[in-house]
Amino acid sequence: MIASLVALTLAAAAPAGPKPGGVKTFTDWTVGCDNGAACQAVALVPESGSPDDYLMLVLNRDAGGAAARLSVPAPAAGSYRLTVNGRAIGTVSAKGDDGGTLALTRSMLDALAEGDRATLVDARGKSRAAASLKGLAAAMLYMDDRQGLVGTRSALRRPGNRVARAAAPALPVIVSPPASKARPRTIGVAVATRLIGRDNARCDYANGPVAPKAHRLDARHSLVVVDHPCGNGAYNLFSSLFVVDEAGKPSPARFDSTPGMGVDGTEDNVVVNGDWDPRERRLGSFAKGRGIGDCGDMQSFAWDGARFRLVEETVMGECRGSMDYIPVWRARVVVR
């Protein structure tokens, strides 16, 4: 009985894990918001369309009733007009093939929400790409609701007379220990093979031998990444992660949010298409929904001295041509 009470007390005292926001699709647009109340809506290629001639528009708005911005891609540098149902609503000055950004006024927002089709027109009057606007009005209402702006003067749709007072929520802070220049501790091939399991290590179609890769995390811990030679998909490669102490003892890496394709509620130490960035000291995972990467889940983690903590997560739930993943979680990292 006492042991049960102690366990419950410890569970209640443990810090809550990240709760990334969700995404929702309305016809040809998908939208989501993160824990900082920043929202993004993304145009999708219609089911019968082709990504080659489609205009991949992205609508962003920060928390607190900030002005909405529309990112408009362009095929090359130059001046373009953005039209809705044949009527120009703004000019895009593209310095390169990244396109440009429009700060959206009330009239622009209304035109986009009430229109059927947006078209990018070059200086010669030639249509270069087009996007469906079906579902954008609903995506705007979704953003207003998540940002607490329904019925305010700052609402994207159906503005009212109330003054927007919703401030941006404070982002969680992750404290990361300082980097160390010491050589990383590692493990041998035999130990790595045992840790990832025979089925992941040996098969007739192996990608290569078991080859542990070591990286220094801090003065007391090293990260060892063991890519799986077996059990991978065509575009998703799996790696097991282990934290090695200064005595050379490996333990499965711990996370505050399920990485890769793991099941929520489990302590999974496997990432998908993982990579360690030694400069930024970030661990990345990118679980693809299909080979071209236009859908999936991207995560970035920072080491806090005991486990990996989710710094950023972006998702795209629709495999419909867009590479503009929607942010659903953010955190700040401080080193001390």
Q: What does pLDDT average to in each consecutive run of 10 residues of the chain (336 residues)? A: 36 68 98 98 89 90 94 96 98 91 98 98 97 98 96 95 88 98 98 96 92 98 98 95 98 95 64 97 98 98 98 98 98 98
Q: How many residues in total does the chain contain?
A: 336
Q: How many CB atoms lie within 10 A of CB 22?
A: 13
Domains detected in the chain? 23-146 (2.60.40.1880), 173-335 (no CATH)
Interior/surface letters 149-167, b for 16+ CB within 10 angstroms, e for the rest: bbebebbbbebeeeebeee
Instruction: Tell me what pLDDT residue 266 has.
Output: 40
Instruction: Tell me what pLDDT residue 180 has.
Output: 98
Instruction: Tell me what pLDDT residue 7 has.
Output: 37
Quote the DSSP letter at residue 203: -
Instruction: Tell me what pLDDT residue 5 has.
Output: 35
How many whole angstroms separate alpha carbon 274 and alpha carbon 238? 7
Instruction: Tell me what pLDDT residue 47 has.
Output: 84
Cα torsion for 291, 294, 295, 297, to the nearest 10°?
90
Instruction: Tell me what pLDDT residue 112 has.
Output: 99
Instruction: Tell me what pLDDT residue 263 has.
Output: 52
How many whole angstroms separate alpha carbon 58 and alpha carbon 158? 21
Q: Could you give the 3-state DSSP secondary structure of residue 131? A: strand
Q: How many CB atoms lie within 10 A of CB 188?
A: 11
Pick from 175, 172, 173, 181: which is nearest to 306 by CA?
175
Q: Is 252 exposed, middle or buried (0-12, 13-18, 19+ CB in 10 A)?
A: middle
Quote the DSSP letter at residue 255: B
Q: Could you give the 3-state DSSP secondary structure of residue 329? A: strand
Q: How many CB atoms lie within 10 A of CB 313?
A: 24
How many whole angstroms separate alpha carbon 224 and alpha carbon 85? 55
How many whole angstroms separate alpha carbon 28 and alpha carbon 118? 12
How many whole angstroms separate alpha carbon 230 and alpha carbon 224? 18
